[in-house]
Amino acid sequence: MSAQSLRELTERLGVDIDPETLRLALTHRSYAFEQGGIPTNERLEFLGDSVLQLVSTESLFYDNPQLPEGRLAKMRAAVVNTKALAQIARRTGIGQFLLLGKGEESTGGRDKDSILADTVEALIGSAYVSCGREAAFALVHRLIDDMLVQAVTLGAGMDYKTTLQEAAADLALGTVTYELTAAGPDHARVFTAVALLGEREWGSGAGSSKKGAEAQAAKAAVGAIRAQFPDYRRP
């Protein structure tokens, strides 16, 4: 990986991680194995996970003094999970910088949720090692603060299907169901879901799986509910 690429990534992250540590954070075990067993990013991932847990816990604790432990734990889980971290990685374009083995490269490793999420944690760990606690904490805030706000606003967090179930029950809007359709060849199937509360359509979404399409439809429906009931907030 070129020095220019490393500089580009540090600019995107907003933290000046030294090149050697940054490269290590991007080194997936598949690449390390093919290079004769060089170090991987897994130790940095371990450290970054702890930093991420602490920052998210601290933020939720101090910013939401009225909420009980159970709600705080759910909101943290909505942000500190593989799917949410992979979204952060895609938003930042981290996939293009990964050092992957040929096998992972050929099977779409640059867009796998697990690899992307692990790399986000490794990058947080690398910021801690290279730049210190304050810089690492600031990086975490830049990466997750918007998602923490959403988690608080939506109650059940980023699990929009659960959030939709809660809102439908709280507001007596009817039973949540999904209507699914599919189009395209088997290898590139696209599913479309419509979220219904009772008999009324509240949102639709598409995805490469039924679950993904339903999640997008639920997200749209939650947005529609928030627009129609601006004062609603789950107790």
pLDDT in the model for residue 154: 58
Give the mean pLDDT of the chain.
91
Buried b (16+ CB within 10 A) or exposed e, 13-31: bebebeeebbbbbbbbbbb
96-110 mean pLDDT? 93
Cα separation, 210 vs 183, in Å, equals 12
Per-residue pLDDT band at 20 (split at 50, 70, 90): very high
Q: Does pTM surpass 0.85? A: no
Per-residue pLDDT band at 235 (split at 50, 70, 90): low
From the list 49, 104, 159, 214, the catalytic residue is: 49
User: Per the annotation, where are the binding residues for Mg(2+)?
Assistant: 45, 118, 121
218-234 mean pLDDT? 87
From the list 18, 42, 58, 121, the catalytic residue is: 121
Above pLDDT 90, what percent of the chain?
A: 69
Buried b (16+ CB within 10 A) or exposed e, 196-225: bbeeeebbbbebeeeeebbbbbbbbbbebb
Q: Is 49 an active-site residue?
A: yes
Q: Which domains does the chain have, with CATH numbers?
A: 3-148 (1.10.1520.10), 172-228 (3.30.160.20)
Contact criterion met (CB below 8 Å) for 234 and 166? yes
114-125 mean pLDDT? 97
What backbone phi and psi angles, to 5 degrees, belong to 77?
Answer: -65, -25
User: Per the annotation, where are the binding residues?
Assistant: 45, 118, 121
pLDDT over threshold 70, residue 156: no
Q: Is 145 an active-site residue?
A: no
pLDDT in the model for residue 101: 95
27-39 mean pLDDT? 95
